[in-house]
Structure formats: structure tokens, C-alpha cells
């Protein structure tokens, strides 16, 4: 079993990814897809007159502030636009895809972050109306049943609280939890860079292999979004996924290349 995380719209070549998925599935190599969507959500929020709002926590990390209105736009864009069009693209390639969010069949249960401490104009504040969660459970047996019946699940980064509230979750971490739940042999995280670089953004310094005990050092090399990907890789290894690969999503055969050893392999 292979889990593939596809990033937002920037850079990753969806036609090439779908062609590789079609090839793998036709060779009886089951695939589960998890995708993101922050960039397109920002774009459409802006057009609808609700520009995204980012908040900074005490440690200086920035994250999206998801009030109920933002959550509904996030759901609409990730689950209705990105997910549906990805399912369409896979169906066109002959892959019998099925789009799911974490709400469907209670696929991904998350704990809602009920209060976020932020710093605004130098003052601390607590936000309580945020709809963001951390996944605690993925229904792997439901996914396995779908896969065994010949389907290719395509999952959007929306989870459900135990009492049925939709929550925005991080797509990289969702992919890690999904990979653990379906006992994946590999988790491939596609990005618009060739892997984790020792000297970012010098692409000739991609690190080909990071051992499990080298992840802490890797975290210190990672920039921006790559930090969350390293944390997700670490989580995936912790729950039993043997190999995580950061691979280039812009090339002609992104998945075949990754499986052949390109990118940064973490194991």
C-alpha cells in the first residue's frame, strides 16, 4: 500500500501524478491519495471578500485563523473543488477514485484545539472560536475495504470532532496518520522542490537519506512548510510507516522516480 500526499496547486504536475497513479493501480499496487488546498482556499476567500487571516502564537509560529466562515470556505474549496476535480482527473485516467473528507463515514476523528493563545500587537489573547483540529484516529479498515473493492480513495484535509463538527486539519499530518492507519509501506510527500536541502534553496544539496535518528537535525535544516513535513514524517515513522519520501512533484514521473529512490528518503 502506498499513500501519496499531493500539495496545493503550486508546482505539482497533476497530470503526471495521475498518470503514475493509473499505472501503479493497473499493476495492482493500491494507492491512497491525500491532498491539501490552503493556497486555493486563500485565493477564493479573497475573491469572496474574506481575506485569510493569520495569527502568531507565543513561540512565533504563524497559522491560519479558521473561524466558522473560513471553515465553510475551506470545506467548499478543498472538498468541492480540489477533491472533486482530482477525482475527475483520476477517473479520466481510468482510476476508479472516490473522494472523501474526514467527515465521511467518520473517516478522520480529530481533537478540536479549543483555545489558541496568540500575540497581537504585542499583547497576548486567547481565541476560542477556531475550527482547527489534530487528528487522533483514522478509520483504516474502512479505507482498506474500499481499496480491496478496487477503489482509490482521495482524501481532503477535513476531519470531524467526536461530536460531529467539521475541522480544518494539516494535510501533511493527515497523510501521515492515514499511512499509519492503512499500514502503508511508503508515504510519498510530493512538493515543488526535489527534497530536503542541506543549503536551501541550493537544489544540488538535496539529502538523499535521513535515518530515523537524524530527524531532529533535519528539522533544524527545514524552512517554512518543510518543517511541518519533517514533523509529519516523524509522526508517520512513529506509527509504523517504514519509509517516508519527500519527492519532486514537478517532474515527468513523480511517483516512479520517488519509488526508485529520488528525493529524500526517511527510514
**Interface with a copy of itself includes 99 (CB under 8 A)?**
yes
d(CA 47, CA 60) in angstroms, rounded, equals 28
Tell me the number of residues near a copy of itself by CB under 8 A: 38
**Interface with a copy of itself includes 165 (CB under 8 A)?**
yes
**Interface with a copy of itself includes 1 (CB under 8 A)?**
no
Residue carrying the nine cell digits 466562515: 69
Nearer residue to a copy of itself within complex by CB, 97 or 226: 97
**Interface with a copy of itself includes 72 (CB under 8 A)?**
yes
Nearer residue to a copy of itself within complex by CB, 101 or 132: 101
Give DSSP secondary structure letters for 153-171: EEEESEEE-TTS-EEE--H
**Neighbouring-strand partners of residue 153:** 98
Among 45, 70, 79, 264, binds a copy of itself (CB under 8 A): 79
CB contact set of 136 (below 8 Å; sequence gap of 6+): 109, 110, 111
Distances (CA, A) of 246 to 183, 221, 238, 249, 267: 19, 14, 17, 9, 12
Among 160, 171, 177, 265, binds a copy of itself (CB under 8 A): 160
Please list every residue from 6 through 65 that binds a copy of itself, using CB under 8 A.
Answer: 44, 47-49
**Interface with a copy of itself includes 236 (CB under 8 A)?**
no
Contact 10, 38 (CB under 8 A): no
Nearer residue to a copy of itself within complex by CB, 66 or 232: 66
**Interface with a copy of itself includes 69 (CB under 8 A)?**
no
In the complex, minimum distance from the CB of residue 113 to a copy of itself, in angstroms, rounded to a whole number: 18
**Interface with a copy of itself includes 202 (CB under 8 A)?**
no
In the complex, minimum distance from the CB of residue 171 to a copy of itself, in angstroms, rounded to a whole number: 15
**Interface with a copy of itself includes 226 (CB under 8 A)?**
no
SS3 state of residue 124:
strand
**Interface with a copy of itself includes 148 (CB under 8 A)?**
no
Among 2, 17, 118, 158, binds a copy of itself (CB under 8 A): 158
Omega before residue 199 within 30° of 0, cis = no
Contact 179, 187 (CB under 8 A): yes
Which residue in 35, 53, 39 sits closest to 178, CA to CA? 35
**Interface with a copy of itself includes 96 (CB under 8 A)?**
yes
> Helices then strands (H, E): number in the chain?
9, 16
SS3 state of residue 55:
strand
Point out which residues bind a copy of itself (CB under 8 A). 44, 47-49, 72, 75-81, 83-85, 87-88, 91-94, 96-101, 103-106, 151, 158, 160, 163-166
Amino acid at each position: 500500500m502506498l499513500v501519496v500526499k499531493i500539495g496545493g496547486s503550486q508546482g505539482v504536475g497533476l497530470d503526471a501524478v495521475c498518470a503514475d497513479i493509473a499505472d501503479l493501480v493497473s499493476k495492482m499496487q493500491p494507492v491512497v491519495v491525500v491532498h491539501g488546498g490552503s493556497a486555493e482556499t486563500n485565493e477564493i476567500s479573497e475573491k469572496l471578500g474574506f481575506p485569510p487571516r493569520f495569527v502568531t502564537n507565543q513561540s512565533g509560529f504563524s497559522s491560519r485563523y479558521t473561524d466558522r466562515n473560513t471553515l465553510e470556505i475551506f470545506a467548499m474549496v478543498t472538498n468541492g473543488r480540489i477533491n472533486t476535480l482530482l477525482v475527475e482527473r483520476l477517473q479520466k485516467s481510468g482510476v476508479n477514485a472516490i473522494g472523501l473528507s474526514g467527515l465521511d463515514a467518520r473517516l478522520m476523528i480529530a481533537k478540536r484545539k479549543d483555545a489558541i493563545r496568540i500575540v497581537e500587537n504585542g499583547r497576548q489573547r486567547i481565541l476560542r472560536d477556531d475550527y482547527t483540529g489534530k487528528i487522533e484516529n483514522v478509520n483504516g479498515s474502512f479505507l482498506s475495504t474500499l481499496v480491496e473493492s478496487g477503489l482509490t480513495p482521495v482524501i481532503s484535509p477535513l476531519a470531524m470532532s467526536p461530536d460531529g463538527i467539521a475541522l480544518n486539519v494539516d494535510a501533511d499530518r493527515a497523510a501521515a496518520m492515514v499511512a499509519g492507519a492503512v499500514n502503508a509501506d511508503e508515504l510519498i510527500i510530493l512538493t515543488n522542490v526535489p527534497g530536503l536541502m542541506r543549503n536551501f534553496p541550493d537544489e544540488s544539496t538535496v539529502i538523499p537519506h535521513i535515518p530515523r535518528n537524524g530527524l531532529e537535525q533535519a528539522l533544524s535544516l527545514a524552512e517554512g512548510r518543510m518543517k511541518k513535513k519533517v514533523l509529519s514524517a516523524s509522526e508517520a515513522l512513529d506509527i509504523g510507516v517504514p519509509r517516508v519520501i519527500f519527492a519532486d512533484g514537478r517532474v515527468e514521473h513523480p511517483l516512479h522516480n520517488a519509488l526508485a529512490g529520488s528525493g529524500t528518503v526517511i527510514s
